[in-house]
């Protein structure tokens, strides 16, 4: 994966693989050892001794015998105990069960990935804000159901991206602040092996790891996993929407956007190149984003289906979380990294936007013309008149203006209703039919300025 596909699906500042999992589990074990020391249950210095030994480089997961125990923690705990003096070995894994270590590792991994993803989303959002400002008056054709609709501005499109990015950032920041909790319940969620000291050790472990202390152990309550996963899936959905917009607008026949070229050494493979067609320049970043984001809904569905954990410990549902959870972390972070690279370099072809709008021959303004004359002719009659004119314009290649003002039966009807040619001309001007566009852009920028998601 890392060598072949990692450049697409494994980008980002935080590694999410076997060694990252191993280090997160070791960090959980080390945090527990320090908590036990602070509670006075193990010799002084034991916590730091375990922490010093708890480096992934010191261990080989292949020796843990996961095929014998069903999870890596029993083997890891034994290996860690062998790395420290015998007098300290009792500080390793004391009071814990395997799920305590793996669930806590899930929280530690999530914190790292969410923080990295938030940084990338912030960069993408700043770029979207800049596009909204620079192109607030750049008129283009809006498209609904992939068909030409009414005029919009590219600034409003970018403002929509911005608002969605900021909402995704808010969800991730909230999860990071409130839903990442230590897991420490022992064999069946009672911490019986630690007696009266159990709750205190749990609180100290949470403090050592910088995680929240839950009301009680959450072995079979998987809402935290779902909250993390859902917040990542929301971010992925936003990134996927932006990437899809860009791929559509970058089509040769539309050509309103294109990806910037990050450059590279002379003679090297260029961004967007095709193995077969030398002329092509594919929107690689957007395509790669979609390659990441398309996988996320299925992963979220698997995690939701795995959230039913029976009694005090699930038989299989817990195991079913590990791989989709890992993939969800990795793919969302990768998509966000692509987005942080793509949006700042996005190239907007404003002449092409204007040309595409002009090529619509006025038809997208039919709604505006209908609104103009409906007050005089009534809505049904106005709609029918403009519909006939639009059909004639589309079939003949004439401008809608020329049909409305040039065909005697239509022109006479308009004249009889007191509608002047100047009014029709004004109704067919795209800049006059942008509604609350500027208000909406201002609102998105103001909300972004006050979002404060870090």
**297 and 338 co-located in one domain:** yes
State the pLDDT at residue 269. 46
Q: Tell the burial category of 221 from Cβ atoms under 10 Å away from its Cβ (0-12, 13-18, 19+).
A: middle
Is the confidence at residue 439, as pLDDT, over 60? yes
SS3 140: strand
State the pLDDT at residue 2. 65
DSSP state letters, 63-118: GS-HHHHSSSHHHHHHHHHHTS-TTTGGGSSTT--HHHHHHHHHHHHHHHHHHHHH
**224 and 186 co-located in one domain:** yes
Give the residue ranges of DSSP H helices in 397-436. Answer: 400-406, 408-416, 421-427
Query: pLDDT band at 272, cuts 50/70/90?
Result: low
Q: Which has the closest alpha carbon to 389: 346, 351, 419, 354? A: 419
Catalytic-labelled residue, pool 82, 174, 193, 274 = 274
* Residues β-bridged to residue 141: 151
**374 and 313 co-located in one domain:** no
Is the confidence at residue 280, as pLDDT, over 80? no
79-105 average pLDDT score: 97
In contact, 27 and 109? CB cutoff 8 Å: no
Tens of pLDDT, residue by residue over 112-127, are 999 999 999 999 999 9
User: What CATH number is attached to the domain comprising 390?
Assistant: 1.10.40
State the pLDDT at residue 44. 96
Task: List the structure tokens of 436.
Answer: 């609350």
State the pLDDT at residue 265. 55
**264 and 317 co-located in one domain:** yes
230-247 average pLDDT score: 98
Range of the domain at 344: 6-12+97-193+207-354
**165 and 264 co-located in one domain:** yes
Q: Tell the burial category of 313 from Cβ atoms under 10 Å away from its Cβ (0-12, 13-18, 19+).
A: middle
Active site residue 275: no
**296 and 331 co-located in one domain:** yes
pTM exceeds 0.95 for this model: no
Question: pLDDT over 70 for what percent of the chain?
Answer: 95
User: What CATH number is attached to the domain comprising 188?
Assistant: 1.20.200.10
Is the confidence at residue 274, as pLDDT, over 60? no
Query: pLDDT band at 266, cuts 50/70/90?
Result: low
State the pLDDT at residue 413. 83
Is the confidence at residue 168, as pLDDT, over 70? yes
279 within domain boundaries: yes
State the pLDDT at residue 151. 96
Which range (190-204, 259-273, 341-355, 362-376) has the least confidence?
259-273
Is the confidence at residue 1, as pLDDT, over 80? no
Question: pLDDT over 90 for what percent of the chain?
Answer: 83
**186 and 243 co-located in one domain:** yes
200 within domain boundaries: no
In contact, 92 and 50? CB cutoff 8 Å: yes
Tens of pLDDT, residue by residue over 341-387, are 999 999 999 999 999 999 988 899 999 999 988 888 889 988 998 99
Mean pLDDT of the chain: 93
247 within domain boundaries: yes
- Indicate the length of the chain as a whole number: 454
State the pLDDT at residue 409. 77
State the pLDDT at residue 275. 42
Domain finish residue from 354, 376, 393: 354
Catalytic-labelled residue, pool 38, 143, 200, 313 = 313
**309 and 290 co-located in one domain:** yes
**340 and 398 co-located in one domain:** no
Tens of pLDDT, residue by residue over 225-236, are 999 999 999 999
**350 and 382 co-located in one domain:** no
Q: What is the total count of domains within the chain?
A: 2
Domain finish residue from 327, 354, 381: 354
Active site residue 313: yes
327-354 average pLDDT score: 97
**156 and 260 co-located in one domain:** yes
186-193 average pLDDT score: 96
Domain finish residue from 301, 330, 354: 354
Instruction: Return all residues near 109 (Cβ < 8 A) that are at least 6 apart.
Output: 14, 16, 20, 21, 24, 326, 329
Tens of pLDDT, residue by residue over 44-71, are 999 999 999 999 999 999 999 999 999 9
452 within domain boundaries: no
**410 and 383 co-located in one domain:** yes
SS3 338: helix
Rounded CA separation 360/181 (Å): 56
41 within domain boundaries: no
183 within domain boundaries: yes
102 within domain boundaries: yes
């Amino acid at each position: 994966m890392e060598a072949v596909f990692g450049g697409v699906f494994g980008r980002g500042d935080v590694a999410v693989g076997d060694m990252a999992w191993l280090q997160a589990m070791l960090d959980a074990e080390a945090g527990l050892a320090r908590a036990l020391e602070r509670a006075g249950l193990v010799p002084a210095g034991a916590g730091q001794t375990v922490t010093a030994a708890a480096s992934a480089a010191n261990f080989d997961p292949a020796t843990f015998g996961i095929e014998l125990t069903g999870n890596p923690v029993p083997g890891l705990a034994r290996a860690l105990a062998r790395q420290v003096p015998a007098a300290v070995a009792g500080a390793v894994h004391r009071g814990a069960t395997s799920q305590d270590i793996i669930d806590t590792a899930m929280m530690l991994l999530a914190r790292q990935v969410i923080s990295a993803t938030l940084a990338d989303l912030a960069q993408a959002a700043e770029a979207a804000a800049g596009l909204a400002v620079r192109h607030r008056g750049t008129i283009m054709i809006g498209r609904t159901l992939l068909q030409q609709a009414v005029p919009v501005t590219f600034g409003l499109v970018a403002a929509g991206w911005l608002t969605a990015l900021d909402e995704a950032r808010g969800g991730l920041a909230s999860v990071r602040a409130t839903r990442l909790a230590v897991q420490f319940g022992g064999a069946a969620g009672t911490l019986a092996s630690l007696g009266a000291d159990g709750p205190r050790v749990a609180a100290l472990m949470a403090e050592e790891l910088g995680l929240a202390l839950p009301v009680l152990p959450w072995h079979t309550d998987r809402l935290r996993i779902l909250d993390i996963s859902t917040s990542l899936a929301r971010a992925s959905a936003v990134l996927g929407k932006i990437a899809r917009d860009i791929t559509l607008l970058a089509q040769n026949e539309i050509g309103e956007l294109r990806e910037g070229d990050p450059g590279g050494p002379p003679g090297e493979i260029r961004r967007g190149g095709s193995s077969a067609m030398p002329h092509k320049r594919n929107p690689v970043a957007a395509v790669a984003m979609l390659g990441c984001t398309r996988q996320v809904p299925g992963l979220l569905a698997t995690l939701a289906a795995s959230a039913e954990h029976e009694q005090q410990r699930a038989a299989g549902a817990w195991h079913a979380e590990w791989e989709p959870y890992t993939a969800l972390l990795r793919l969302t972070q990768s998509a966000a990294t692509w987005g942080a690279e793509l949006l700042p370099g996005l190239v907007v072809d404003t002449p092409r936007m204007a040309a595409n709008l002009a090529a619509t021959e006025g038809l997208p303004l039919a709604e505006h013309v209908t609104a103009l004359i409906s007050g005089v002719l009534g809505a049904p009659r106005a709609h029918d008149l403009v519909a006939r004119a639009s059909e004639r314009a589309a079939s003949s290649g004439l401008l809608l203006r020329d049909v409305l003002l040039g065909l005697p039966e239509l022109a006479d009807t308009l004249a009889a209703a007191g509608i002047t040619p100047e009014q029709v001309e004004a109704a067919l001007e795209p800049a006059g039919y942008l509604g609350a566009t500027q208000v909406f852009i201002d609102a998105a920028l103001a909300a972004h300025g006050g979002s404060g998601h870090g």
